Amino acid sequence: MKFKAALLMGLTTLLLSSPTTTEARRRACRLWNCGVGPINCLDDYSCAPCGPVCEPKWQEVECTVMVPETSYETRRVMTTQYTHEVRQRPVTYYERVPRTEVRQVSYTVCDPVKREKTVPHVTCRPVYEDREVSYNYCEPVYEQKVGYRTVCRAEWDEVPYEYTVMVPRTEWHTGVRKVCHMEPVTAMRTVCVDEGCWVDNVVAAPCCNIGCGPGNCGCYTVCRPIICRRWQPNIVQKQIPYMTCRPVYVDQEYRYCTTVCEPQTRTCTRRVCRMVPEKQEYTYTVCHMEQKTAVRNVRVCRYVQETSERVVHYTEMVPRTETREEKYTVYDCVPHEKMVDYTVCVPVQVEKEIQVPVCHMVPKTIVKRIPVPCSTCPGNTCY
């Protein structure tokens, strides 16, 4: 219903604000009046025709709404914490205890025995014979032949050509440079001067007695004061002038020369060699091999096998078995028990305070503007 009333109010405002005819304003009034009735009153033709168009009115209404407000509360909850606890448990470990035993061990020993035997022996004896053997050989035959070849003969020609040289030239330029000279300046400095004076202090001297004698005027006591003079310093700072020199830089013109190279083209002649081919006759020697056959005596060696016997001495290893006692170590595993410390985690229930956000619905009074329905349609049957 709220959406329906808002929709009708928007349509009415749009129709009333736009520059329309009287019929449009009446239609807006009918839509507004029908909007507060049943749903079937949305038809424009089911509403009674409106009278004069009334201006929209608004009224302010106070209403209460629930506003969520979050606050934090302190609650006590139970949590589980783990503490480390050291416990002991028995552990069995094994210790290896050595002991010595004796056993009989059999082993084999080989004794060398010298023996001899007769074995057949085959030898090869060389026998030399003379035989005639024919063989082929090549004999070189030399022959002179005439041939022609092309050789190049050098001819020299004088050819002019141009080349460029760099000719140096001296140019003078004027520049400016900084020249430093010392200028005397009077400055002030602070010195300490002792303007003290001598001060006389009177110190009482001890009394001295002059005795009575022939050279003395009489017997009396002399008490004469002693004056001590000392210097009383008075350090005074004074400003005294002194002469010093400061550097002054002045611009000074000077001349300097530079060397500039200018390209110049010159002409000269040079000798160029060109090769001229020409045909030349020459004689060369050709060697070819001619095959010939000859006979020569060759001494040939052949071997004849002969069988004989010989005595061979050899050493044979004869095995024999011996027995000996041998000591060896055997380890026995002996169990032992000992207490071992280990750490376990024990759960402990601890109660602690935490801050929990809590949402409350708080009533709040607001002022709301609502439209007042137009009552210019008394014949409307939708109410």
Q: What is the pLDDT of residues 190-231, one digit of tens each?
A: 888 888 888 887 766 555 554 444 444 444 444 566 777 888
Which residue matches tokens 């009177």?
A: 202
Predicted confidence at residue 90, as pLDDT, reads: 92
Confidence tier at 123 by pLDDT (50, 70, 90): confident
- The length of the chain in residues reads 383
CA dist., res. 202 & res. 226, Å (int): 6
Domain boundaries, the chain: 201-230
- For residue 12, the surrounding DSSP H or E stretch is helix 2-17
Confidence tier at 50 by pLDDT (50, 70, 90): very low
Which residue matches tokens 């550097």?
A: 247
> Residue 231 is which amino acid?
W
CA dist., res. 131 & res. 298, Å (int): 5
For the stretch 134-152, pLDDT in tens is 888 888 888 888 888 888 8
Counting residues of the chain whose pLDDT is more than 70, the rounded percentage is 77
For the stretch 95-113, pLDDT in tens is 899 999 888 889 898 889 9
Confidence tier at 29 by pLDDT (50, 70, 90): low
CA dist., res. 112 & res. 118, Å (int): 20
Which residue matches tokens 């520049």?
A: 175
Is 110:318 a contact under the CB 8 Å cutoff? yes
CA dist., res. 173 & res. 380, Å (int): 114
Confidence tier at 23 by pLDDT (50, 70, 90): low
Predicted confidence at residue 51, as pLDDT, reads: 46
CA dist., res. 214 & res. 208, Å (int): 19
Confidence tier at 42 by pLDDT (50, 70, 90): very low
Is 346:82 a contact under the CB 8 Å cutoff? yes
pLDDT averaged over every residue in the chain:
79
Predicted confidence at residue 372, as pLDDT, reads: 74
Interval 149-166 mean pLDDT: 88
Counting residues of the chain whose pLDDT is more than 90, the rounded percentage is 4
Q: Which of 49-53, 209-213, 297-301 has the highest mean pLDDT?
A: 297-301
CA dihedral 335, 341, 343, 349 (to 10 degrees): 110
pLDDT at 3 over 60: no
pLDDT at 286 over 70: yes
Predicted confidence at residue 147, as pLDDT, reads: 87
Residue 238 neighbours by CB under 8 Å, 6+ apart:
190, 191, 192, 193
For the stretch 53-108, pLDDT in tens is 456 678 888 888 888 888 888 888 888 888 888 999 999 988 899 999 888 889 89
pLDDT at 22 over 70: no
